[in-house]
Chains A and B, each alone.
Chain A
Amino acid sequence: MVEIVVLSGKGGTGKTSLTAAFAHLSYNHIICDLDVDAPDLHLILKPENIRTEAFFAGHKAMIIREKCENCGICQEMCRYGAVSEISGYPFIDQIKCEGCKVCVSFCPSNAIDFCEKQCGNWFQSDTRFGPMIHAQLFAAEENSGRLVALLREKAKETARQKKLDLILSDGPPGIGCPVISSLSGASVAVLVTEPTPSGRHDLERVADLCAHFRIPAGVIINKSDLNMAQADSIGKFCAQQGLTLLGRLPHDPVITHAMINAKAVTEYDQGEFSGRVAEIWNEIEALSGYKSIKLMNDNK
């Protein structure tokens, strides 16, 4: 089974629009939206949910006023500044609480409740391009890394059941917890960048992260005509770092028009832009090893 995850470091470089196009261009796959914080892929794929499950992770600490003797130990021991005093009693700010249980364990009056909390929902769905696993973390929640790990597990399970050879995932921006959780153990990372100072800087960091986890990576330079010199320089950077340059795409509003029409760009328009996206997908198939799996299946 091949697992391809689309990342970028910087947000807004075109991860989701390109993932939707790759989902349209390939078959025998399961699609996964690992940006559980601000997921957008469903806006194009319009999934029909067939299963919704609650995602529980971590706990929240809450003071039981009747038992509290106001000794101040909880406030003293909390490393996250989550405990403050409000009208003479300690109060735990749920947004700052990390769920570490230290206050609960050290409270001499057993006056702190510690209940499991639901951080979001995850969904199994059908789309016009194939099955999809996705989620929505509740507003301002944490544990996105664990939810990402859960989605990947469910995607693998479904892929095995349905005998699918490919997991295609739209990843989150950044290089922190949910990105690390999306990346570790994947077959290949596709890094979408743009020729701007931020795009370049963030590509270097996410490429470093791939090297750190020894995940082979390919690069797509989107909006490449915004600054040709920078695009060329990114091309050189890829060559130096052993990153495969998968292709360049121009700055073209067709990608936005497709999004507004809830279509993958390759589905919406058969012009030059879509042709280039198809060439890039071909390169990704080769880099990830999915092409050889396809050839093997064709020969069966």
Chain B
Amino acid sequence: MKVAVASGKGGTGKTMVSASLVSVWRSPVIAMDLDVEEPNLHLFLHPEIKGKRTANMEIPVADESRCSQCGKCAELCQFKAISLMGKIILTYQEMCHGCGGCIAVCPEGALSPGYRELGEILWGRTNYGKFLMGRLRVGEAMSPPLMRQTKIRLTEMTDLNGTDVIIDAPPGVSCPAVNAVMDSDVILLVSEPTPFGLYDMKLAHQAFSQLNKPMAAIINRAGLGTSEMAGYCKSSGLEILAEIPYDRGIAEAYAGGRIIADIDGEFRKLFTGLADKIKSIPEASGRRGVPNG
């Protein structure tokens, strides 16, 4: 079972919930950080990194001596990453989406595959099981290709039968967030009961609904703001699986790098209860085995 922890609004507690869930999960679990722009899960789970590799994307490298200036590459490229200026082929590396179209369309074989570094994929072990993360190179704009490669690494790490995966997703509701949750079996929306939290949770709920996966809410900082969020969840059929109270002690523990489920017995119970509820979701809705996408 793959559980994606997402949110819409940033800073609502995705990483805090992910780390706590991993720490109380009763069966084998892989912690996977797909917030590749700003990965944070390792700061709380302290994995021992056992391996890493560079993630690259294919980009075209031009050999002008073979170019006949037909212009087919520039015509095909939808991302303005290649153009012809007289006899010179100009490539704009950072604009390239790696579709491979220009290389395939060139009749002269003047374009060959080169690489742009997207970032790193790192893996290892924590006290709670295996760990995997992607980390985008600073200055790189595109996170989805790195996320796709991180997901490929996941399939190499384990036979996923019998192992669960908890995915810490990036904030937002556009392509990076959708990429992080699209292959999961259940999506958890972590939010806070404030006007910003509610607005962004509605956006996330709407965006992820297109994926036809079971979704549920976790309300963090409960008691902080307004009660509208509970009303929204009720009217839109979004079950609230847990409420984490608004408490300065939690904020301070998080600031100190602690896993919230480790604070005391009460919080531990809150997260073990949450884990049990999550595990019962896919069976209950009969969605197991439905193809992704």
Contact = CB atoms under 8 A, between A and B. Distances in A.
Interface of A: 9-13, 16, 37-38, 40, 43, 58-59, 77, 79-81, 84, 93, 95-96, 98-102, 105-106, 137, 139-142, 144-145, 172-177, 179-181, 194-198, 201-202, 205, 208-209, 212, 223, 226-227, 230, 251, 253, 256, 259-260, 262
B40 A198 contact: yes
Contacts of A105: 76, 101, 105
A60 to B, nearest CB: 11
Contact of B38 (A181, A205, A212): A205
Contacts of B38: 9-10, 173-175, 198, 201-202, 205
Contacts of A81: 148
Interface class of chain A by DSSP: loop
Contacts of A181: 141
B251 A251 contact: yes
Given A93-B293, A100-B101, A176-B142, A58 B78 contact: yes
B255 A10 contact: no
A95 B196 contact: no
A174 B78 CA distance: 25
B11 A10 contact: yes
8 contacts: A40-B9, A43-B195, A141-B174, A179-B37, A196-B255, A201-B38, A223-B251, A260-B195
Contacts of B143: 174, 176-177
B257 interface: yes
A11 B191 CA distance: 12
Most buried by A among B10, B43, B99, B225: B10
B17 interface: no
Nearest to A11: B10
Contacts of B76: 101-102, 105
Given A99-B78, A140-B174, A176-B141, A40 B104 contact: no
B173 A140 contact: yes
B178 A95 contact: yes
Contacts of B139: 180, 209, 212
B9 A140 contact: no
Most buried by A among B11, B101, B195, B206: B11
Nearest to A228: B255
Closest 5 CB pairs of A and B: A11-B10, A12-B11, A100-B99, A139-B207, A174-B37
Nearest to B211: A95
Given A40-B200, A140-B174, A205-B38, A102 B251 contact: no
A204 to B, nearest CB: 9
Nearest to B210: A140
Contacts of A142: 174-175
Nearest to B141: A177
Most buried by A among B139, B143, B204: B139
Contacts of B200: 38, 40
A226 B252 contact: yes
B282 interface: no
Contacts of B194: 256, 259-260
A272 B10 CA distance: 27
A260 B171 contact: no
A192 to B, nearest CB: 10
Given A141-B174, A172-B172, A256 B206 contact: no
Contacts of A179: 37
Given A11-B171, A95-B293, A196-B255, A38 B203 contact: yes
Contacts of A145: 141
A37 B173 contact: yes
Given A38-B9, A259-B194, A251 B248 contact: yes
Interface in B188-233: 194-196, 199-200, 203-204, 206-208, 210-211, 224-226
A104 to B, nearest CB: 9
Contacts of A177: 141-143
B97 interface: yes
Contact of A12 (B9, B105, B257): B9
B174 A137 contact: yes
B129 interface: no
B171 A43 contact: no
B150 interface: no
Contacts of A96: 182, 293
B144 to A, nearest CB: 8
B178 A98 contact: no
A139 B207 CA distance: 4
A95 to B, nearest CB: 6
A49 B42 CA distance: 43
B290 interface: no
B12 interface: yes
